[in-house]
Amino acid sequence: MAGNNLTGSIPPEIGNATQIHVLDLSSNHLVGLIPKEFKRLTSLERLMLNGNQLSGRIPSEFGSLNDLEYLDLSTNKFNESIPSILGDLLKLHYLNLSNNKLAQAIPFKLGKLGQLNYMDLSHNSLEGKIPSEMGSMQSLVTLDLSHNNLSGSIPSSFEEMRGLSYVDISYNHLEGPLPNISAFREAPPERLKGNKGLCGNVRALLPPCNAHGSKKDHTVIFSVLAVFVLLSALFTIVFVIVQRKKKHQDTKQNHMHGEISFSVLNFDGKSMYEEIIRATEDFDSTYCIGKGGHGSVYIVNLSSGDVVAVKKLHLLWDGETEFQKEFLNEVRALSEIRHRNIVKLYGFCTHKRHSFLVYEYLERGSLAAMLSKDEEATELGWSKRVNIVKGLAHALSYMHHDCLPPIVHRDISSKNILLDSEYEACVSDFGTAKFLNPDSTNWTGAAGTYGYMAPELAYTMEVNENCDVYSFGVVTLEIIMGKHPGDLFSSLLSISSSSSSSSSSSSSSALAAHQIPIVDVLDQRISPPTHQVANEVVSLVKIAFSCLNSSPKSRPTMKQVSHFLSTQMLHLSKPVHMMTCGELLGLDPLGT
């Protein structure tokens, strides 16, 4: 019912629709209060009332909507405070209350929303301090608090929000240091301006935080510096003498072992290198948990109790100084990426004997391995599979559209999708990834895994985001079918591109593929999807077909795909068991 010029108020009788899962009344002309009868819609998962003229307070009765995952009340006239009861909606992953007249403080209970990915409270009249409890929102990716009256400093607990990639706190009264995470460090000026006295962001041209001390502080600092200079001179003399004695010994050791370049976040490089060698018994095959085109992966149990995955590279650095430099620059940049659906790269080591990467360890291994084993594949129900596709889409959208410069993975396949203990998908193996600088030509060179590579790579070596989109389509079908789609999509798509000269046998084969019922291509090891999940699964199949378009320019962007999966799904005109593959080719949910 969205965008239908509906007028008047929302009738209280809507509370009788107790089995409804999705309610979209957005972009209409509705006025008045939200009926208290909404508390009876306990099956509701998605509620969109944005773009109306609704007023009054946000009803506390929303607290009974325990299954709610998506709530958009933006661009209305809601006033008073944000009800703290919203913090009890633990399944919520999207919350948009922007462009209203909400006042008072942000409820600290919102920090309980551990699954929330997106929060927009901008363009209101919120005041007071940002609650430190919000630092517990580990899944948050996007946070917009701009255009409010918030004051005080940003809580230090925000430094734990490693998944945060977009933040806008402009036009408030905030002051003090920014949290030391990339979302704040790399935020452009327009997302930080209009505040009282923030400091610490070089990119936004904010002053360094030590520039805000008082004159008394400066006097103390200068006194300390004077003493420090004198002590430094003394220590320098001693240091030079000691270094001369050690020089000969160090030269011999470097000759024996070669230079070690090691960087691991939160660890001492040298001791970590030694511990990894010791823990894997010099990379003994016993600890190997996987092999790929660029290296072998080992599981490492550290003395701290942490478990990491170490990928030992096949690369040899001798005579490849420029390539080594380029590789290290890219790896250092990749180690700054923090997204819940991208495997965390903790660090790397380059050494004449061993070169390896240190990654986050994910318990359930690769998606390909899970789908290949019947017992494990049955654990991947349809809801989990839908979430895996969503996670992959969000990761690629982040890489293509939120990283500067954009990152093209170049080798998206089911082997490079890893799952954690909660079946959350994470993109791994950036061994062939390439940054696309706007002032340089796109990366050229063979990349990808056979069966997942875009068809245009057969006649051009130019790799861009469209290649990842195609690979995403293949992986999506693989998740839905439980196996690599093989020739299915080529048969389905061939009829639209077949010419009059094509053989009758190939045409009949394509027609037969078009008539295959959707339920027949779904993974037969689990029961067919029903209700809302069925809509989501069919939507994924359709999106996959769009991504597999033979024309790169006709494919959707990953930002379009990610947005569609987060905000809407196809509404089926008939039951899933009555739909054919050919029918989905005629639908275009993304408008590409």
> For position 443, what pLDDT does the model report?
44
Has residue 71 got a pLDDT over 90? yes
Percent of the chain predicted with pLDDT > 70: 73
Tens-digit pLDDT profile for residues 72-91 = 999 999 998 999 899 999 99
Q: Is the pTM of this model over 0.85?
A: no
Name the fold adopted by 261-360: Phosphorylase Kinase; domain 1 (3.30.200)
Strand order from edge to edge, sheet including 46-48: 22-24, 46-48, 70-72, 94-96, 118-120, 142-144, 166-168
What average pLDDT does range 94-100 have in this prediction?
94
Judge whether 390 is annotated as a binding position: no
DSSP symbol at 303: T
State how far the Cα of 511 lies from the Cα of 123, in Å rounded to an integer. 53
> For position 432, what pLDDT does the model report?
55
Three-state SS for 349? strand
What average pLDDT does range 262-267 have in this prediction?
48
Largest Cα–Cα separation, the chain: 91
411 is catalytic: yes
> For position 582, what pLDDT does the model report?
76
SS (H, E, C) 46-96: EEECCCCEEEECCCHHHHHCCCCCEEECCCCEECCECCHHHHHCCCCCEEE
Tens-digit pLDDT profile for residues 174-197 = 988 888 888 888 888 888 888 878
> For position 256, what pLDDT does the model report?
31
> For position 588, what pLDDT does the model report?
53
Classify residue 196 by burial, with Cβ atoms within 10 Å: 0-12, 13-18, 19+. Answer: exposed
185 phi/psi in degrees, rounded to 5: -60, -35
> For position 245, what pLDDT does the model report?
52
Q: Residues 120, 144, 168, 411: which is the catalytic one?
A: 411
Identify the residue with better confidence: 496 or 426: 426
Is residue 426 within 8 Å of residue 381, measured between CB atoms? no
* 444 DSSP β-pair partners: 462
Domain residue ranges of the chain, discontinuous segments joined by +:
7-212, 261-360, 368-585
Confidence of residue 426 (pLDDT cuts 50, 70, 90): very high
Name the fold adopted by 368-585: Transferase(Phosphotransferase); domain 1 (1.10.510)
Structure tokens at 348: 């790397």
CATH architecture designation of domain 7-212: Alpha-Beta Horseshoe (3.80)
